[in-house]
Amino acid sequence: AQSVTQLDSQVPVFEEAPVELRCNYSSSVSVYLFWYVQYPNQGLQLLLKYLSGSTLVKGINGFEAEFNKSQTSFHLRKPSVHISDTAEYFCAVSDMYGGAQKLVFGQGTRLTINP
């Protein structure tokens, strides 16, 4: 079974600074990776996903992530953050489970943007 580790539970940064949220997954032959964002008391919204092809994936709100097979990582980056990026971010990997696709989530990283 797949597993996901988000290396930082909290990341504080100043507004307009760059940020990287780290995600490592357990190795597998085929891997499909997702980043979701959750604003307070809301559901999850897809930021971006990697299924195949280019290892640099661009998503919404200026975020991007790079798939690194040798390091089994899928880190999320943004060159300049805004106050509105304050949220919790979840990395997830797709795993087959009884013939169906299941998402396995990391523990989440709380991103706090300070003015």
Partner 1 sequence: DGGITQSPKYLFRKEGQNVTLSCEQNLNHDAMYWYRQDPGQGLRLIYYSQIVNDFQKGDIAEGYSVSREKKESFPLTVTSAQKNPTAFYLCASSQLAGVETQYFGPGTRLLVL
**Binding-site member from 12, 16, 45, 60 for partner 1 (CB under 8 A):** 45
The C-alpha atoms of residue 93 and residue 80 are separated, in whole angstroms, by: 26
Q: Is 7 in the site for partner 1 (CB under 8 A)?
A: no
Closer Cβ to partner 1, 14 or 97, answer by number: 97
**Binding-site member from 49, 61, 66, 72 for partner 1 (CB under 8 A):** 49
The C-alpha atoms of residue 97 and residue 115 are separated, in whole angstroms, by: 43
* Interface characters, 74-93, with partner 1 (x: CB under 8 A): ----------------x---
Q: Read out DSSP for 18-80?
A: -EEE-EEE---SS--EEEEEE-TTS-EEEEEEE-SS-SEEE-GGG-EEEEETTTTEEEEEESS
* Minimum distance from residue 42 beta carbon to partner 1 (Å): 6
Amino acid occupying residue 51: L
Residue whose token pair is 């523990």: 107
Q: Is 32 in the site for partner 1 (CB under 8 A)?
A: yes
Q: Is 63 in the site for partner 1 (CB under 8 A)?
A: no
- Site residues for partner 1 per CB under 8 A: 9, 32, 34, 36, 41-46, 49, 51, 90, 94, 97-103, 105-108
